[in-house]
Structure 1
Amino acid sequence: MRLKLLLFFALLLGSFAGQAQEYLQMIDAGTYKVQDVIDSAEAYFANKDKGRGTGYKQFKRWEYNALRMVKEDGYLPTIEERVNELQRWNAYLNSTAQNRAVLPDNWQEMGPTAWNATSGWNPGVGRITGLAIDEGNANHMIIGANTGGVWRTTDGAQTWTPMCDYFSNLSVYSVAIDPSDSDTYFFGSTGGRIFKSTDAGATWNLHGQTGSSNVNKILINPSSTNMMFATAENVGIYRSTDGGANWVKVVSGDNRGYDVEFKPGDLSVVYASGSGFHKSIDGGATFTTIGGFTNGPKMIGVSPDDASVVYVLEASNGRFGAFYTSSDSGGSFTKLNHGGLNFFGYSTSGNDNSGQAPRDMGIAVNPTDVNEVHIAGILTWRSMNGGTSFTCTADWIPGNAASANIGYCHADVDDLMFYGTTLFAITDGGIYKASNTGTLNANYYEDLTDGLGIRQFYKIGVSQTTDSIVSGGAQDNGTSFYTAATGWKDWLGADGMESFIDKTNSSIFYGTSQNGQLYRTNNGGSSYVGLNEPGSGSGNWVTPFEQDPVLANTIYVGYNIIYKSSNFGTSWTAISQNFGGNLDNLKISQSNNQVMYASRGPVLYRTADAGATNWVQTTTPGGVINSIAIHPTNPDKIAVATTSINRVFISNDGGNTWTDLKLNLPSFSALAVIWDDNGKNGLYLGMDYGIYYIDDTFTDWQPYSNLLPNVIINELDINNTTNTLFAGTYGRGLWASPLVDNTVGIEDVISESTMSIYPNPATSEFTIALPKSMKAEVRVFDITGKLLIYEADALISNKHTVNVSSLSSGTYFVRLNTEEGTATKKILIN
């Protein structure tokens, strides 16, 4: 059953406990100012429990990202704005390629692409939101990763390939493969948008729209593939008769959409659910609402083993509500008695009050045994007697699962589905497969996500050692660290946030989880200790946490007051006034640790005496401050990335005056900024699309994104020992590239002068010629910057032919991206 309920910018909100949460509909609509949504949410949660299963955590995720990407008018950018700006930027890059400097950007994916738990308690690769398997080939699957795009495997999950890296970083909530054409894919996104690819994911186009909510499920009629159904979370159930180009709401009176299923063996009968359960006997043209239920979100289970049986799983205020069974093809239902147990929480015995339905809620029935029913919330459960009783089949902590001799499956199960007799669980940490669902033991689930680089990093910290150590905190999958010698290991759980490596002892790492809970490991991540949080002990969703660049054992945390510890976090001293609210950013000067900067919203504060006197408010640069960078050798020279239309500001006098550095930057969100100590004031900027560079030798920003996917760049960090720039992305893990060198020899790279294209003009094909063999990514754009042809990992053995017979006559641009450079050429097609 498909349940993909994560909201805009991955961040994702589902319609959690209760149906009166107006802020969720406001987010869906996309027509409200961010502050209005925040006010509505805070009013809803006032005087309510904000713990697990309430939806407050998911709201805070949305709020964090929304405040970083909000426009000056108070609204979030729309998908259409982002796609149009991406095309405009590509057109600019193509037209200016001949005059642009040759830079050494060569981004390499660093992972993680697997999990390896040490002291981390909820390890996983990353958040999966949808799974589709080719009806004619079990080895061919596609998945949707929340902000990591669509991925494909053709060898049964032995290897995975990203399919959206150069389209857009749009959120993915559901996926489908056309039953009649295995090269045709669909994915559902926010705002009811459905995207389609006819070339197995190489290129995508907006295809249709179902209302204005997240598309939870896409169901295609296998006998008539022009007939499709889609459920849109907060607006209802939709049907298309033209292959998804146009959609009509087919269930009146129900403004929720969660699940839709065909009756096995009879495609004229369709079951659909939102707040109610609905049945159609005319192929989905009309529906009748079946009574006997409450108003909670519902999911549907059916099995070819007995097509007359229909199961309905119902939620109540985020928790398990009820389980119903029908023996007359959904005409009437009986509610089964489960004695008040809660199958949607953290308890393996069903004895708690937690739950995150319908965000975490799924049901699947064995196609060869109608009495074998699997349901899920935070954990997974199995019934062998038609839902009369359930047994927990997995725990969310590996050690606990092994002790109980049940499977390990990452917490928060978005979906369950059978393919043949194999069960798949789609979770916030990956895809888990149960091949033998009848035998319950510690090996019940197999993780299929090795090879998926979809980690959603909030923050990263990089050592200054020869073997770089990187520790990063990520959504849903805790905090992990990487070294070349050991690869990735997971050392903290929960949502990981700010993290850094001790500057004098590389076996000591620091980390945080949401709202500023503080941790330290003294043994390279083998174990951890919790630190005593000072003061209120509660900060922002992502709390500033920094190490002193000069003093040993000294760290700082920014809540509503900034605190300093000189003994590894054992005790703390306040070094600031109360700022009246939690801080967003905190930075300490490398060249003078008495100078520090902190920000809250659009306001920047400065101290020149390490907080001995009150911090002073500087002149406001403009917009909410997303990132602060202090120049490595000049504590008065700072850069800030903001939500202002001008994006980046520079001050040479400690924030008294500012100069905007917008120049030629695209109108994406400026999220991370960092100086490079390269003698020419090198400055890197990470946006939600791309990384950019400027220094004293340039009058414009230079793209610095060769081989980097279109993904949100949450943080940048530099290892000056290895001259490496690291990017922590929100959806595609960690990436690394060489820094800008003082000189780059054009003879050492691929460029416009070393790449040739012929014939030009071309008709049905053209040939790319290079001076040597190499792997490359080949893209063909039209003059507006729209990507029309994409070939990943093309092996060019000096020459490579590209088929352009599908293109109309006109002017196009061919872009080649290799590990040895980027080149762009114009081509005419007759």
Structure 2
Amino acid sequence: MKKSYFFLLCFFTTVVFSQTTNYKNAPNKKGSNYFEIVNTVRQELEPLKNSTSKTDIKKIKQFERWAYYWKDRVDANGNFPNELLGYYNAGIIDRNGVIQPSVGQMSRSAQSSQSWVNVGPQGVPDANGYSNYPQMGRLTNFLRFQKVPETENVLFVSAPNGGVWKSIDNGITWEPKLDFIAGIGVTDIKSSSTDANAPGTIYVSTGDYDADHIKSIGVLKSTDFGETFQSTGLTFSLSQQETTSNLIVINDNTVIVGTNQYIKKTTDGGATWTNVYTHVYNDAQIGKFHRNGANIMCADSWGGLLFSSNYGNTWSIIKPVGINYERHAVTSDLATGIFYVQNKAGQISTYNPAASVPALTDLGNPTTNYNPQGTYNQALVVKDGLIISGGVDAINSDNNGGVWYTTLNNAWEDNSSAGSYGHADIHEMGYLDNGYSFWACNDGGLIYFNYPTVSEEKPGVEYMSDGVLITQLYSVAISPQSEDHKIIGNQDNDGYSLEMKDGTLKWVSALAGDGTCTAIDFTNPSIRYLGGQNGSLIRTDSGFANNYAGDVDITTPSGAPFVWTMKMNSTVSTTLYGGFGEIYKSTNKGDTWTNLNSGAGQIEFIETFGNSLFVIGENGGRKSLNDGVSWSAIVEPSVSADMNSVTFNQSNPNIVYATIKGYVDGSKVFKSTDGGLTWANISSGLPNILAKQVVLKQNQSEEILFLGTELGVYYKTGANDWQPLGQGLPNVIINDIEINYTVDKLIAGTYGRGLWEISINNNTLGIDETSPTDDNAPKLYPNPVTDGLLYINIPTEFDYDYVIYNVVGGLVKKGKLSSGDNLIKVNDIASGIYVVRMTSGNYVSTQKVVIK
């Protein structure tokens, strides 16, 4: 489990990692240890936890998201693997980072022919009264090809999770083009042309240059207008741990890109690449290129600036490296040819290549309230004296930096606020059309913004990336009343709740920051819960529609991790279990909490059915069969890695399943038949990819398992091997999977491609079950049940076993049925939709009943 270290070691690692190493680059460093880094950085951030400064809050968020990303990947000793190891192990890329031609077909399982369906949100949710409403998710860059009429403009956007998206109708509709490597980030997409009638060759820089979560597999290219992409000659093996920056595309064959240590150039369409500049440091992460004619400027992460006056053939240093990480934003005024750069302290400088002695010259005052979050968001655009600086917000000046104004404001409240509303964290900006018309990519998507005059501070803003389905989900919850009612929690984009508003079923905004956990009361779908980071939690008793902040701001126990977990009891909806510094229980919808003292420490995962409760914490796994009154330990299934999810059979809690972290080949899922004391490895059929969550389909005659991984969903029935589930699911991380038993569907929350569902009817999974004929099938009446009395008529001489369960699989009744009428009292069951599953030998009848 997580390691504890003495003060001396913590002090040492503080010096090593915090003073000399950026934690984002730690996975690249030989000998880096995840547990040491996390302990050290959390100590350093501790004084900021009570700060109200957005800068301080952002620092914590950025680190905790990084820690969450890596926690399931590192091995038991804290060693970092390559972020792309799963893609290699699954055969999507080869050992040199080359995309394998066969993976572009996105074929999945031949046995499970069902198709996955994206279930939204398909566009920005209803703002719901929330002035800082969430949007669809982070984009890194934008490419436009113009056409007459303008409505036929072709647009491309790139995402750090979610690949490349294309629109052929000027942003009205969008289609994904890199779903087979959707989880491999895209930093930039460029072409030498802007003409939709002659688009030329399109190039893509992979990885996530700004956040540095995903390493690059090199530069890709497309010669069919972005319909398909192939690797160029610039690829990277897993051991290289490389980054690639934004691109300079001079013509179809000539491209420039930065890497950790080199500026690379190709003149033959990417077949071969030449190092045209070698940096003194091998972790310089050269990038933020900008070109004006033959002149090109770029920055490195050590504070240096480089310049070329001959299309990148040779380079000179115009600012040597500093002692701290300080990547600059770089742009130029296309009309004057003057370059502008901005350091992370907000100071703008100019560089005029046409001057007799070109030199960097400070311009005006540092940008007021500038916050690039280190180097996470640094963007700059200049036109006719209007300077727009992009960090958390966009801040502009029309008098050469003398005075600065907030112009795109993520904290916008109403028209009396500074500027216009714009989602936080701007990654790139650029020109659009005549006048002062620009585009920007931020953590919410793509916007166009336009100023009527150079002195205007409130631009008109148009959101352009509706339909770009790149939402990064942490959690999903479902409602029993309708399969259409759901709630999701998102990374950095709050929560979305699907419910009736103004007579229409729609996604509406709900307040969370990072929406880390969700729940819907299965007896009353108006009661919904949405958790934010570090244990924050809101509840609505009347739905989130017209009530984005909920009805109750719940006070929770201390000690929750940044991404924390909460579960609702499967049969008593007012009972909640929360993962804080320990496992806590509430029997009154979160109003008060009781420490159940499991001994597991800080909780990472919870599973519950009825009175059985299983948890995974920093001290290992624990189980209770009496709703937390007493506890016993669960033995780790593997000595080489720790558990990260667990599920069990509610009818027999001795049957337990667990996944383990990391990349231990052949060790992904384990099964225990003695309550977690001993384990059998049941990983056959799975590639060596990250296992995130295992779920057992409850109340079935045969074992049916589903597994969320970093590359989609797998399933297993009985003694069969695991195989991919369904067709058409992008290769992206699955953070949460839930079964909606009333409609027999599996719901998958992805990190980068939104929310998906698929039918998991047993017959489609290849399970041999026979439905009785209509004449011989059991008959349920009345339906709906209004007086608490349900009758089931068995028209044959065969006896049946029955179970009644709710939307989340919670078992509420079970027993036997004989020939003729059978009376079942259901007056003690809450109102809702239930499933009645009746079996007799190989005959199975599954029917819904509504209880009111």
The aligned counterpart of 2:40 is: 43
Matched residue SS, 1:434: strand
Distance 1:374 1:604, change over 3 A: same
User: Does structure 1 residue 177 correspond to structure 2 residue 205?
Assistant: no
Question: Residue 395 of structure 2 is aligned with which of 368, 373, 381?
Answer: 381
Question: Residue 520 of structure 1 is aligned with which of 539, 542, 546?
Answer: 539
Contact 1:50 1:57 in 2 (8 A): no
Which structure 2 residues correspond to residues 102-141 of structure 1 after superposition, within 5 A?
103-118=113-128, 120=130, 121-134=132-145, 139-141=153-155
Distance 1:562 1:531, change over 3 A: farther
**2:226 is aligned with what amino acid?**
G
Distance 1:235 1:113, change over 3 A: farther
User: Does structure 1 residue 306 correspond to structure 2 residue 336?
Assistant: yes
Distance 1:465 1:76, change over 3 A: farther
User: Does structure 1 residue 713 correspond to structure 2 residue 734?
Assistant: yes
Question: Residue 738 of structure 1 is aligned with which of 750, 759, 769?
Answer: 759
State how far apart, in whole Å, the 1-side matches of 2:711 and 2:551 are.
37
Matched residue SS, 1:515: helix
- CA deviation vs aligned residue, 1:263-305 (integer Å, no higher than 9, x gap): 3xx31x2222221222222332222222499763211221222
**1:85 is aligned with what amino acid?**
A
**2:175 is aligned with what amino acid?**
T
The aligned counterpart of 2:219 is: 194
User: Does structure 1 residue 248 correspond to structure 2 residue 275?
Assistant: yes
The aligned counterpart of 2:637 is: 621
State how far apart, in whole Å, the 2-side matches of 1:326 and 1:551 are.
67
Matched residue SS, 1:722: coil
The aligned counterpart of 2:307 is: 279
Contact 1:217 1:259 in 2 (8 A): yes
Contact 2:749 2:755 in 1 (8 A): yes
Which structure 2 residues correspond to residues 164-563 of structure 1 after superposition, within 5 A?
164-179=178-193, 181-182=199-200, 184-189=202-207, 190-191=215-216, 193-207=218-232, 208-209=234-235, 212-222=241-251, 225-232=252-259, 235=261, 237-244=263-270, 245-248=272-275, 250=277, 252-253=279-280, 255-263=284-292, 266-267=293-294, 269-274=295-300, 275-291=303-319, 296-307=326-337, 309-316=338-345, 320=346, 322-327=347-352, 329=354, 331-338=358-365, 342-345=368-371, 355-366=372-383, 369=384, 371-398=385-412, 400-404=413-417, 406-421=419-434, 422-436=437-451, 438=453, 440=456, 444-483=460-499, 485-525=504-544, 526=547, 527-529=549-551, 531-535=553-557, 537-563=558-584
User: Does structure 1 residue 23 correspond to structure 2 residue 37?
Assistant: no
Distance 1:405 1:375, change over 3 A: closer
The aligned counterpart of 2:588 is: 567
Matched residue SS, 2:286: coil
**1:392 is aligned with what amino acid?**
T
State how far apart, in whole Å, the 1-side matches of 2:109 and 2:497 are.
40
The aligned counterpart of 2:71 is: 67
- CA deviation vs aligned residue, 1:575-624 (integer Å, no higher than 9, x gap): 114534x21101112xx32x2111025821111222223x3211111223
Contact 1:357 1:377 in 2 (8 A): no
- Tell me by how many angstroms 1:393 deviates: 1.0
Worse overlay, 388-397 or 110-119: 110-119
**1:498 is aligned with what amino acid?**
C
- Tell me by how many angstroms 1:557 deviates: 0.9
Distance 1:666 1:154, change over 3 A: same
State how far apart, in whole Å, the 2-side matches of 1:528 and 1:723 are.
30
State how far apart, in whole Å, the 2-side matches of 1:94 and 1:204 are.
9
State how far apart, in whole Å, the 1-side matches of 2:691 and 2:60 are.
26
Structure with higher Rg: it is 2
**2:228 is aligned with what amino acid?**
T
- Tell me by how many angstroms 1:731 deviates: 0.6
**1:451 is aligned with what amino acid?**
G
- CA deviation vs aligned residue, 1:497-531 (integer Å, no higher than 9, x gap): 11010122211111111222112122211231554
- CA deviation vs aligned residue, 1:555-582 (integer Å, no higher than 9, x gap): 12111211122222222211114534x2
State how far apart, in whole Å, the 1-side matches of 2:374 and 2:23 are.
17
Distance 1:81 1:100, change over 3 A: closer
- CA deviation vs aligned residue, 1:448-467 (integer Å, no higher than 9, x gap): 01111110001111122234
Distance 1:743 1:332, change over 3 A: closer
Contact 1:83 1:168 in 2 (8 A): no
Matched residue SS, 2:23: helix
**1:157 is aligned with what amino acid?**
G
- Tell me by how many angstroms 1:85 deviates: 1.9
User: Does structure 1 residue 655 correspond to structure 2 residue 676?
Assistant: yes
Question: Residue 714 of structure 2 is aligned with which of 670, 678, 692?
Answer: 692
Q: Percent of aligned positions with the same letter in both sequences?
A: 24
Question: Residue 607 of structure 2 is aligned with which of 587, 593, 612?
Answer: 587
TM-score (norm 1): 0.77
- CA deviation vs aligned residue, 1:214-233 (integer Å, no higher than 9, x gap): 323111114xx43322234x
State how far apart, in whole Å, the 1-side matches of 2:82 and 2:327 are.
30
**2:155 is aligned with what amino acid?**
M
State how far apart, in whole Å, the 1-side matches of 2:108 and 2:693 are.
28
State how far apart, in whole Å, the 2-side matches of 1:153 and 1:708 are.
20
**1:358 is aligned with what amino acid?**
T
Matched residue SS, 1:612: coil
**2:289 is aligned with what amino acid?**
V
State how far apart, in whole Å, the 2-side matches of 1:188 and 1:67 are.
23
Matched residue SS, 2:707: strand
The aligned counterpart of 2:777 is: none
State how far apart, in whole Å, the 2-side matches of 1:135 and 1:601 are.
54
Worse overlay, 704-713 or 452-461: 704-713
**1:462 is aligned with what amino acid?**
I
**5+ long unaligned stretches in structure 2:** 1-16, 95-99, 208-214, 768-852
The aligned counterpart of 1:776 is: none
Distance 1:220 1:192, change over 3 A: same
Distance 1:292 1:542, change over 3 A: closer
- CA deviation vs aligned residue, 1:635-657 (integer Å, no higher than 9, x gap): 33222222253211122222122
- CA deviation vs aligned residue, 1:185-240 (integer Å, no higher than 9, x gap): 32322246222233333433332148744323111114xx43322234x5464433
State how far apart, in whole Å, the 2-side matches of 1:272 and 1:476 are.
29
Distance 1:28 1:236, change over 3 A: farther
CA RMSD between the two structures:
3.3
- CA deviation vs aligned residue, 1:15-46 (integer Å, no higher than 9, x gap): xx9984343322346x556xx14423543553
Matched residue SS, 1:435: strand
State how far apart, in whole Å, the 2-side matches of 1:94 and 1:142 are.
19
State how far apart, in whole Å, the 2-side matches of 1:706 and 1:552 are.
34
State how far apart, in whole Å, the 2-side matches of 1:599 and 1:606 are.
9
TM-score (norm 2): 0.75
State how far apart, in whole Å, the 2-side matches of 1:541 and 1:469 are.
27
- Tell me by how many angstroms 1:68 deviates: 1.8
- Tell me by how many angstroms 1:676 deviates: 1.5
